[in-house]
Amino acid sequence: MTVADAAKESSTNVKAAVGAVSHAGVPTHFTMTEDEIIAKFPNRLRSYDLFKKMGSPRHIVAPMVDQSELAWRILSRRYGADLCYTPMFHAKLFSDDNPKYRNEQWQTNDEEKPVIVQFCANDPDILLKAAKLVVGQADAVDLNLGCPQRIASRGHYGSFLMEDWDLISRLIRKLHENLEIPVTAKIRVYEDVEKTVAYAKMVEAAGAQIITVHGRLREQKGHKTGLADWDKIKAVKAAVKVPVFANGNILYYEDIQRCMDATNADGVMSAESNLYNPALFSGKILPTWQMAEEYLEICKDIPTRFGYIRAHMFKLFRYSLPIHTDLRQQLGTAKSLEDFRSFVEEMKSRLIEDSKKEDAMVFDPENVEIDALGYRKYPHWICQPALRFEHDKVHSQSKRLLNEALVENATEKPTSDSAETPSCECVSKDTSESDPKRLKISVE
C-alpha cells in the first residue's frame, strides 16, 4: 500500500479506534468544532504558525527525564539547539496541591524561548490541570506517547497507551479545547506503516499541532533497540498537515540533514546523542572538558540538582572514565558544585596530558578517520556518540554496530536485528559500567 493509500484508509481506522462517534462521524468527546475552538482562543497559534513563531526549528533537544533540565537546555542552545523540551513531567505529581515536585522539576527563565513542556498522563482532567500551570511560561505542552520503560507500563502512560486510541484522543482533545497554549505529541510507530499513519492522523485530528515521530516500535529498547524506521516517519509526514519532527538514528551532525532528506521532516530531534555531545547541532568537534566546564559555569547561576550534574559528567566523560578509573570514585561522591569543578579540573589536566603522549591518537578535526563500519575515530577526550555492541544473540549472528546495519540496509527497510546507539526521553540516570566495550544507553 502506498503512503497515499494509507492516508486515505486511515480516516476509517481513526473513527473505529476513538470510541463512540456522533451521527456526523465525530467522536463524542469532541465537544467543540474547530471554528468554535478558534473563536475561544483567537490568539493561540496552530500548526505551521506555531512552528514559524518558534523560529522554524530544525535542531530540537528531546525531553529526557532528569537530563534536559534548564542548565542543560541553556548549554544546548549555545551550540545550535533551536528548540528544547523539558524533561517528561508526571501530570498528577506536577498538578498536586503540594508544589514540591513541581518546584523541584520545573525551571525556566525569561530568556529560554522557545520551550515545550512535556507531560505523561492518563487522565484528561489531571493533564489539563497540570498544563494550565505552565501557561505563560511555555510555548506549548507536549503529551508523551513514546516512553517504553517498565515504569510507564506500571503507570499506564507513554507508549503503553498505544492500545487505547480513545484515551489518547481524549487527552489531546481536552487540551485542544481548553488550554490557552497549543498541544503537541510525541509518538512511536507500529509494525505496519498503515497503522502508524492512521495513528498519527488520529493524534492530529484530536488537536496536536506538532507531531514528533520516534521511528521505533515500543519493543525496541535496551539491547533490542535496532534502527529507527525513517520510512515510517516519511509516511507520517506525507499524511498529516501539521509539522513533523523526526527522532532516531542521529549520531553525527551530518545525520541531521540526511534524516531530513530521507523523511521530509520539518526538524530533527536528538536525545542521547545530545547528552554525549551537547555541541552536536553546531557541527563543532570539541573536547569533553570544555563542555563540562561550560555546563558547570551555567550551574553556578542556575541551581541544578547534583544528581543531574553527576549523570551529565558520567556521559560526557564516558570514554575517559574507564581509563582514569580512580576519578570515577571522585565523581560518584561529589557533594557540591566545587567538588564537581575539582573533578573536571583533574580530568582536564589528565586528558591534556593524554593528548600529548607519544602514542596518543593523532587527531585532526578537519580530517577525521573513519573505521570499517563507518564510525569516526575520535580520541577519548573528544565529545562523541556512545556506541555499543548488540547483545541480542537470538537475532544477531555477531556483535553488530549501527553503521554496519545502515550500510546493509541502505536499500532495504530497517529491521530490529541491527544494533544502534539509542537515546531516550525516559533516561533518568547513568549506570555505566567500567567496561568500555559495553556502554549502557537508553532508547531515543
Which residues are designated catalytic?
147
| Amino acid symbol at 32 | M
Q: Which three cell numbers stand for residue 162?
A: 498505544
- Is 264 in contact with 238 (CB distance < 8 Å)? yes
Alpha-carbon gap, residue 200 to 212, rounded angstroms: 10
Alpha-carbon gap, residue 376 to 243, rounded angstroms: 32
- Is 311 in contact with 373 (CB distance < 8 Å)? no
SS (H, E, C) the chain: CCHHHHHHHHHHHHHHHCCCECCCCCECCCCCCHHHHHHHCCCCCCHHHHHHHCCCCCEEECCCCCCCCHHHHHHHHHCCCCEEEEEEEEHHHHCCCCCHHHHHHCCCCCCCCCEEEEEECCCHHHHHHHHHCCECCECEEEEEECCCCHHHHHHCCHHHHCCCHHHHHHHHHHHHHHCCCCEEEEEECCCCHHHHHHHHHHHHHHCCCCEEEECCCCCCCHHHCCCCCHHHHHHHHHHCCCCEEEECCCCCHHHHHHHHHHHCCCEEEECHHHHHCCCHHHCCCCEHHHHHHHHHHHHHHCCCCHHHHHHHHHHHCCCCCCCCCHHHHHHHCCCCHHHHHHHHHHHHHHHHHHHHCCCCCCCCCCCCCECCCCCECCCCCECCCCCCCCCCCCCCCCCCCHHHHHHHCCCCCCCCCCCCCCCCCCCCCCCCCCCCCCCCCCCC
